[in-house]
Homo-oligomer: A and B are copies of this chain.
C-alpha cells in the first residue's frame, strides 16, 4: 500500500474513516435505530447528500459497522483463546469472558450483530468471514484439547443428517474432532450467546441478575459438557 496517493484519494480515505467513526459513536450512544445519516453529516460539518459519495445507503454504512464489530469481537476472543496454551479450561473461560466483556461494554454493537436483524436488511456475503471468527476461536479450544488427547469425547449417537452437518462444520473450522464433540461445541456456543443476550436484554432481571456468578458457573458446566478436562488447579 503506497500512502502517497493523490490528494483527492487521501482525502477520500480520511473522510470515509471519519464518517465511520462518527457513525460508530452515534451507534454506541443510541443504537442502530438512532443512527441517522443526517446527524452524522451534521456532526462532520457537511450536508447529508454528500455522505452518499462515500456510502451508497444507510444499510451499507451499517454493514461496515457490523463487519467491524465482528472483527473486534473475533480479535478479542482469538487473543483470549491463544493464551494459557495447555490449560484448555482456562482458555475456554477466557474466550467466554472475552465475549461477555465485549458485549457488556458495547451493548448496541452486540445488539446490532446478534440481536434482531434490521428490517429487510440482508447480511451480505462479506460478513460471514468476520462473523465466523468467534465460533471458530471457541471450537479451536475443543480441537486443541482433542489433539492433546485430553478431550473426553461424548458417545452421543447422531442422526445421519446431523452427523453430516457436524462434519461440514468441522471442515469450515479445520477441526479434526469427532462429530459428537463438534455438536456439543456448537451447543455451548449457542448457550453462551443465549445467556449473554438474555443478560444484556434484561431477560435475567429478577432471577440471575447480576449475572456474574451465574455466568462463571455456566461457563464451567459447559466446559464439562463439551468434555474439557479440569485445569491444573483441579477445577
A contact set with B: CB distance below 8 Å: 30-34, 111-112, 114-120, 123, 128, 131-132, 135, 156, 158-159, 161-162, 165, 168-169, 172, 183-184, 186-187, 190-195, 197-198, 201-203, 205-209, 212-214, 216-218, 221, 225
Contacts and interface: CB of A to CB of B under 8 A. Distances in A.
A118 B33 contact: yes
A145 to B, nearest CB: 19
Contact of A162 (B32, B128, B172, B217): B217
Given A30-B120, A31-B119, A193-B194, A187 B114 contact: no
Given A118-B33, A201-B114, A190 B194 contact: yes
Contact of A207 (B172, B208, B218): B172
Contacts of A201: 114-117
B30 A119 contact: yes
Contacts of A111: 115-117
B221 A187 contact: yes
Given A202-B123, A207-B186, A213 B131 contact: no
The binding surface of chain A is classed by DSSP as helix
Contacts of A216: 159
B115 A169 contact: no
Contacts of A34: 119-120
Nearest to A164: B213
Most buried by B among A123, A190, A205, A213: A190
For the complex of A and B, the 10 pairs showing the least CB-CB separation, nearest first, are A194-B194, A115-B116, A111-B116, A33-B119, A162-B213, A191-B191, A169-B207, A190-B195, A190-B194, A31-B119
22 contacts: A30-B120, A31-B119, A33-B33, A33-B119, A111-B117, A114-B203, A115-B115, A123-B202, A128-B205, A156-B217, A159-B217, A161-B213, A165-B214, A169-B207, A183-B217, A186-B214, A187-B191, A190-B195, A191-B194, A193-B203, A194-B194, A225-B225
